[in-house]
Structure 1
Amino acid sequence: MQASFIIDLGNKSQIPIISFSATSPDLTSFRSPYFFQATINDSSQVKAISAIVQAFGWREVVPIYVDNDFGKGIIPYLYEALEKVDARIPYKSVITPGATNEEIEIELYKLRTMQTRVFIVHMAPDLGSRVFHRAKEIGMMGEGYVWIITNGMTNLWSLIDLSDMDFMQGVLGLRNYVPRSKELKRFQKRWKRKFLHDNPGMLNAELDIFGLWAYDATFALAMAVEEVFGTTNFHFDASNASQNGPKLIQALSRTRLKGLSGDFGFINGQLRSSIFQIVNFNGNGENRVGFWTPNYGLVKSLNFTNLTRYSISKTNLGSIIWPGDPQSTPKGWEIPMSGQRLKIGVPMRTGFTEFIKVTFDQSTNSTIFSGYCIDVFNDVMKGMPYHVPFDFYPIKFEEDEDYNKLIDLVVYGNYDAAVGDISILANRSLYVEFTLPFIQAGVMIVVPVRDNETKNAWVFLKPLSLDLWIASICFFVFMAFVIWVLEHRINEDFRGPPLYHVGTSFWFSFSTMVFTQRERVLSNPARIVVVIWCIVVFILTQSYAASLTSLLTVEQLQLTVSDINEMLRKGENVGCQNGSFVQEIVQDYLKFDPSQMKIYNSIEDLNQLFTKGSANGGISVAIDEIPYMQLFLAQHCKEKYTTLTGPNFKTGGFGFVFPKGSPLVADVSTSILKVIESNRMWMIDEKVQKQGNCASDSSSTNGLSLRSFRGLFLIAGVTGVLALIYSVAKFLYEQRDVLCKRDIGISMWKRILQVLRNFDQRDLTSHTLRQRELRDEDCIEIVQIGGPLEILAEAPGEASVEAPIEAPIEGVDHANTNNS
């Protein structure tokens, strides 16, 4: 746009305009004699692009270009060049210069739904890097894709950030070839030296092709000026510019020189077409794979001595690493993902319709497809990055047919895909492509259970784990010791002979379990400790009672079959689903005789076989894939079935089936992961299986562990320790005279023994003991002193008063009274 404006000014002022950066072919449409395009026109590279397309046999190409004059200028020439090599452009992808990442992704997703996999990118490096970044994220830089960039990006390779190289692995690029010469090498050294002097902060600056064109254009202009004005007494008069302009035009048109960029000269105001270098981006750089020349086409080197004709053979190019790192050449197209509706085959089941159900609605004359697999597939296709139209088609099975019929129908092209509870197996994967499993599967063994009426005599120990029993007993002993220490000196209930001390302390501690302790605690620290400990004991006893109640009331169930080998010895029957590959496992690996196998088609059939039992033509166990068995257990909790631990057989799970090489498989698998990681899959599981849970009914309650009560024990322990520290510290402070007295003859050991004897004595200063003494002083003592009975009365604060008793005391036999 700038060039077109300047060209118009040049025409009006009749002054030559020289551009060394504008490459659009549209500029030639001005047909201005004053415009000199000192660059290689973009239209000159379309022949090189068409030669590459023809060499690899690609028939369709989609250009991705920026929506401005630079981007649109090349398109008409590209159409014409591709048409000559029998290739066409089915679609043009236009990216606006200010496009957001979301707008770029929308356009790229649209390209993914198309058949073409060859793209030509023509835009500036900054926008092109963003396009490749988005393409990498949505999976368009993988195997099967071809990306070719024009010299608009490759010539400015130094402007592309190194981090963006990771998104351009396998890309082919065209670059204007610059022959190496001594003059170019010397000039680059001088230029870099001066550039670093003027810009000391930029260390990795490189001179690109546009800088070389600018230098050569300036040199050519200087030569033209010397030709017109001479080298002496040079003077330019701006007022006579219109007169000097035509002379400069003629001089520039005649100028030829060996420039830094190669042979430099104008023909009709344009540089002659040059050689293009073909590069392949891989790793952190580029690999030169060949050249394109106007005279010889694709060549591996510029040695023309053995070349006689124009060649478009890909053997003239070096090895190319394509996107996704495959060595084989991409075919350039995939099966179309738009413009037609996929035919999806769905099996018609008679049982386990929770997974697949096909019904015919007579009122609307339509077939209704439902079930777990259909719900998952619909959600997966909604999550696809592009729209994929499809229709379901029911597939009927004969009595002796299995799901291998589905595989054959997809292999032979009758259907584009198959959806259902189709197990991913190795032998099936040889013929079709499976998506990632949407159900993780395996083989499960289900057996009935019967009541076990015998109860364990030691069941009362199970509510608490061993560590919790040990911790509880230790804390009872610890609390007994704490209470004794805190109450021994001030409480008569905790005094007496040593055995009485121990018995009373332990009795008090253990009686807190039923809160029947008779002894009173008198000190405040002891009261705090007892309150905390009572809370702990209350919570512990209540939890024990609840857990024991659960143990005694939940039915104790026993397996009817404990070993598969036992069934084989007894000749008991096993159940298998009709048409399931599990039948092969039962026969080949578990070694069951075919006569021992009973076939079922639905959950109801399986339940009836279990009800009959093996002795009456039924079964003792059922072996099937996990999804079916989980569904059976979810719907028959009351009959008490459970799983049996036995041989562990893994399977790939349920997956959707596509033909070999289908490009949809990767995208469908990615969408499956998104559905699995979202809550949508949980909602589908909830809808189908109703979240029935038999395992919780037949399992025993786990014992309570110490971990559940460690917080309570920690609080009680800390409280007891703090009370002990307080009590002992107070006592030692009171005994400081005993411990610290300076009697030379008394050793420290004797002092400690004296302190311990003092601890065993009553604390007469205690408030509780003083109250006890006051009550004792209020009583009357009756004694006999050598004669008649006397009453000694003593009032507080008064002297004792003796008074003889004149009259005999009623109820006392004075005659038999002795001196005792």
Structure 2
Amino acid sequence: MQKKLKHLNVHAFLLSFPQILWVLILPSQIVSAQKNTTIPVNVGVVLDMDTWIGKMGLSCISMALSDFYSSHSDYKTRIVLNNRDSKKDVVGAAAAALDLLKNTEVQAIMGPVSSIQAEFINDLGDKAHVPIISFSATSTFLSPLSSPYFIRATQNDSSQVKAISSIVKAFGWREVVPIYVDNQLGEGILPFLTDAFDEINARIPYCSAIPSLATDEQIVAELHKLMTIQTRVFIVHLLPSLGSRLFAKAKQLGMMGAGYAWICTDAITDELHSIDPSIIDTMQGVLGVRPHVPNTAELQSFIKRWKLKFQQSNSDIVNPQLNVFGLWAYDSMTALAMAIEEAGVSNIGFDQLSDISGNSTDLESFGVSRNGPKLLQAMLGTAFQGLSGDFIIVDGQLESPVYDIVNVIGNGVKEIGFWTADKGIVRQINPITIKKLGTILWPGDTATPPKGWANPKNGKKLRVGVPVNSRFSQFVKVTRNSQTNTTMVEGYCIDIFDAVMALVPYAVPYEYVPFATSVGMSAGSYDDLVYQVYLGNFDAVAGDIAITANRSLYVDFSLAYTESGIAMIVPTDNQSRNTWIFLKPLTWDLWLTSFLAFITIGLLIWVLEHRINDEFRGPPLHQIGTILCFSFSTMVFAHQEKIVSNLARFVLVIWFLVVFILTQSYTASLTTRLTVQQLQPTITSVDELIKTRAYVGYQNASFLSKILLQMGFDESRLVAFNSSEELNDLSTKGSGNGGIAAVFDEIPYMKLILGTYCISNWISSCT
């Protein structure tokens, strides 16, 4: 019985076992069903896995997906990474992308690392309608306008040129020399640098292109070329490996000392933290620009987590340093995950092209993604606050609002300011108050900004011709020291030229070359000297060279720095030296009238006063003396007689007014004759000289001889003088005594003559 019951219980258990098993399995099936509701989306990753940027980028991409989906577990889509190694080769990158498009049918591709690889993969992405997202391809040759499915999740190289030109403008440099790698990376930025410097009136006298595989000998040879030019401001746009070698050789050649200015683009500045300390030591004083990354708590937390995880999988790398490319890789993968969810992308197959034949190549055998257009639009509209800052795609590439400006000091870099598109250079971003940079340590451990130029060691000097037959040594004087075999050039014109050249904001080496024969005599006239510039024998001429119409046909003149024109010097009127000049202010008629007026006034006052005033009475002789003394003493208001009659007082007031006017007019007239009349020339016109056939002087070998002949002077009446001393003698003798009656010359010479010899009886007059 017990066995039977036992058998029945076992049988009942076996009959109920499927139900129990179903109850136990049901919860796991429900959980599995929930997991199967997420949609996997294949995304390709094409990187150079053996390079630092490839390893760093892949680790950041993986962490971005892990962090994103852990905080967005409700998302229906899940990105599945399909990694491919491009093996640092363009063909390898293209083959990896082709495999992902054809065999895996990925919905997007992250990478590749280099711009050259991206340029070829972009064509595949455009053909398959698959977005190609690169976080490190910075070349300006890559444009989302020409490749609509290319998204540059990094800064364009051209976005930093404004920051660099602002630094150049801030220090007033007028010439810069770009040093760039001779490939697509370097050639792409050059046109943008040129345009930016043109806007601030800075010139690029020379472009230094260095091959990407340049040897040390090639680098040294190029640096020697840079030493022979005057510019000392260099813009370095090289890869970090090539840039490190460049600065090491520049240090050996003494080009990292005082007077030099070096500015690095972000290609080097972003990698300064990973460059060998010995190379950093050679870069002391170098300036650099790099994209600004806000120092947030989230960023610091991520860096710590990334270092820990990266070292676990790459134990051979000691103290790894994360740079901005890793942050862009993280943010771009985050943006892609957001865009895929928004667009509702699924792993549906590609539409195959209808015209694909059986003998087509691999480049023609993949189809077109159905999700591509909507995924592209979702990606272009994505904007969020990422680890690298504001992640906003504008016109197919990452927006670049702010750049850091750093200075290499010691073992690292120091932030000295920022550059923003709307404010330019500022000391701080928030609040923006000071529009200048902080303290800078320049090459050579100096705080003084370089002037940007220096005299080149082997540069060609400007040949400046100077006359040796100047009649006035105060303007130009050429002396030769036979013992030292050197020539000294001095004078007012030379001082002016030296002062002008000193103000030029760049070096212009020059030397003075006398226009003389082998024996030291003049090689020709001033016209001949000017013509040498036209022939190319001289680069310029400095001296007392007048601007004439004939000379202007061959050369360009500077603005006149002295009064220009031709002056005539003639003797003055000597009447001011006459002993009886005090009689000249009044005519004889006026003198007689004045005397009679004095007598008349005296008689009139006597008639009105003698009957009632005792002072006008007495003997006849006494009364006559009183009349004469009273009338003449009124001139100085010194009369002593007291006036009693009102009528006499009225007459006397009128007389005082007449006397006051008469004396003041006389004084003014006499003063004029004693001063102004000395400046009155004896000859007032050129026609008078021609009519009187007077002798006139002019400077020998001057262009004035032709002008005087054209004016109508007789050639026999022209007297040439060779020195200012000889002119002084001729002017002293006069025209009738073997001298001259007038002198014609340029105004600067005339002023010098009048000031040197104090010819008080001669006056200049412009003709």
State whether TM-score is above 0.5.
Answer: no
Q: TM-score range by the shorter chain?
A: 0.3 to 0.5
- The TM-score with structure 1 as length reference comes to 0.41
RCO greater where, 1 or 2, for CA within 8 Å and sep 6 or more? 1
